[in-house]
């Protein structure tokens, strides 16, 4: 298998996960900005498993014959490259947003570019196994969900689909660790900027909004926040009930929806980002507030694992009809 864009955070996480996957062997890893450098020098955490791995420049011929290629590239780079990969390799798993939105007309507004690969957009399968497992079987092109989207969608979808909450006027407030901004240096992700701070961003126009709406079928007001932590997402979602509900009935509905799901934990207690650190698990709870008449659903996950690279590996496992837990942990790193 190959990883294109392996020098970024999601690429490094893919290398970590593939090292413990019994059916995946990394034979090609690109990182154009780091081409020629040892992966272990950039990420010492990889040294034991990849002591001699050197990031390569991209060469299309090098992917010939590979069963799987993961893409950890910018959106427009994936859009340009995927047509050359589909049919050349067994499975393409794209971690960008290039093939997530089924309505191509939304790309100029939310991502700033025109989508020109309509056929591939129609063929791409959304890589969230808990909600789209049947479609993933044998998929040649997988579009891995956004990190915020994974948390919000797993929290809300069972309640929307079950007719328990109104699909209009749903509010999603979610906080993410700084790794969600990627490895590139930015003023907003400097230590002295982030430390001892907590801020909202992307007000009213964050690009994950239409993706959350596409997956959940709800109208969503989404506000992301940056938290002074390395990894993790905590999403708090608010909605009006569409029928008589209680905290117990909401928890029961979520538990039924995710019965047998290896990575979804539904519990009465409030989820925490530390509990899912480094794992592919999602912890969810719900409440009904009789005083205000609101339903509240919370979900916690690791934005780099389940929210990106772990979710991509799980989606590939589903596409290959493998055990979805291969290479992935359900247990967080604690303390």
CA–CA dist 131, 135 (Å, integer): 9
In this structure, what DSSP letter does residue 56 have? B
In this structure, what DSSP letter does residue 239 have? E
Is-catalytic flag, 237?
Answer: no
CA–CA dist 303, 104 (Å, integer): 26
**Catalytic pick from 147, 155, 218, 237?**
147
CA–CA dist 265, 131 (Å, integer): 15
Contact 203, 221 (CB under 8 A): no
φ, ψ dihedrals at 52, nearest 5°: -120, 10
Tell whether omega for the bond before 335 is within 30 degrees of 0, i.e. cis. yes
In this structure, what DSSP letter does residue 112 have? S
What would the DSSP string read from start to end of 72-84? ---HHHHHHHHHH
Which residues carry out catalysis?
Answer: 147
């Amino acid at each position: 298998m190959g990883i294109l864009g392996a020098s970024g955070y999601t690429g490094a996480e893919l290398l970590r996960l593939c090292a413990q996957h019994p059916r995946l062997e990394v034979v090609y890893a690109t990182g154009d900005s780091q081409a020629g450098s040892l992966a272990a020098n950039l990420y010492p955490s990889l040294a034991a498993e990849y002591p001699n791995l050197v990031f390569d420049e991209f060469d299309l011929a090098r992917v010939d014959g590979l069963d799987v290629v993961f893409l950890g590239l910018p959106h427009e780079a994936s859009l340009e490259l995927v047509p050359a990969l589909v049919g050349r390799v067994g499975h393409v798993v794209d971690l960008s947003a290039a093939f997530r939105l089924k309505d191509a007309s939304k790309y100029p507004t939310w991502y700033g570019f025109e989508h020109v690969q309509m056929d591939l957009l129609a063929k791409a399968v959304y890589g969230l196994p808990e909600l789209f497992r049947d479609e993933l079987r044998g998929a040649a092109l997988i579009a891995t969900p956004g990190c915020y989207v994974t948390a919000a969608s797993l929290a809300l979808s069972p309640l929307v689909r079950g007719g328990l909450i109104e699909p209009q006027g749903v509010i999603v407030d979610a906080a993410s660790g700084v790794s969600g901004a990627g490895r590139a240096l930015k003023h907003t992700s400097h230590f002295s900027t982030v430390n001892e701070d907590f801020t909202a961003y992307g007000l009213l126009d964050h690009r994950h909004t239409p993706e959350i709406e596409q997956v959940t079928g709800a109208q969503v007001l989404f506000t992301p926040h940056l938290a002074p932590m390395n990894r993790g997402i905590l999403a708090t979602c608010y909605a009006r009930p569409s029928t008589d509900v209680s905290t117990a009935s909401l928890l029961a509905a979520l538990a039924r929806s995710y019965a047998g799901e290896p990575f979804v934990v539904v519990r009465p207690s409030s989820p925490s980002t530390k509990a899912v650190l480094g794992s592919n698990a999602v912890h969810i709870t719900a409440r009904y507030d009789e005083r205000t008449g609101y339903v509240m659903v919370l979900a916690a996950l690791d934005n780099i694992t389940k929210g990106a690279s772990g979710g991509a590996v799980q989606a590939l496992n589903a596409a290959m009809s493998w055990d979805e837990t291969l290479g992935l942990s359900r247990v967080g790193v604690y303390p």
